[in-house]
Copies of this chain bind each other. A is one copy, B any other.
Amino acid sequence: MCKAINDCVIVEIPKIEDHRGNLAIIEKEVIPFQVQRVYYLYDIPSGSSRGGHAHKELRQFLIALSGSFDVILKDGEVERRITLNNPSKGLLITPGNWRELENFSSGAVCLVLASNVYCEEDYIRDFEVFKSFKKLKNI
C-alpha cells in the first residue's frame, strides 16, 4: 500500500547559470515521459487554492517558474506537503495520487508538463471514488 505517493519525487532540472540569467532545460531523460501537453497557471490571487483531483494514468511534472506554492499529495492514508519555490526543481506526480495546490505566493507561475493530452475520463474528481480506485488497484 501507499506505493504511488512515494513515487512522487523532486527532480533536479539541469541548468546553465550565467550572469545574463539562468537557463533550465528539460529534454530526453530528465522526466520519464514525452511531453504531450504543456499548461500553466498564472495571475493567481495570492493565498488561493486549486487542484483537488487525481489521475488514473496521467503523469505530470510541476515547476514553480516564479514565486511559490504548496502541493498536497494524498493517498487516503498518508499526506505529504511539498513547497515548490525553485525553477530548477520540479515535482513528478505519478498516477493514483490525489493532489491539491495551495498557498500561492503573489506572482506565482505553475508550469505543468503532462504525459498526455486532456482526457476527462482520466480524472477522478471525488475523493471517496479516489480511495475506492486505490483499493481496487492496490496502489
A120 interfacial by beta-carbon distance below 8 Å: no
Partner of A22, one of B19, B28, B42: B42
The answer to whether residues A23 and B39 also contact, given A65-B65, A66-B107, A117-B28 and a CB cut-off of 8 A, is yes
Q: Which residues of B contact A113 (CB under 8 A)?
A: 38
Total contacting residues, chain A, CB less than 8 A: 35
Asked whether, in the complex, the Cβ of A24 is within 8 Å of the Cβ of B40, the reply is yes
The residue in chain B whose Cβ has the minimal distance to the Cβ of A42 is: B87
Tell me which residues across on chain B come within 8 A of A40, comparing CB atoms.
23-24, 65, 87, 111
> Could you tell me if B41 and A22 are in contact, using CB atoms closer than 8 angstroms?
yes
Contacts of A49 in B (CB 8 A): 20
Q: A25 near B: Cβ within 8 Å?
A: yes
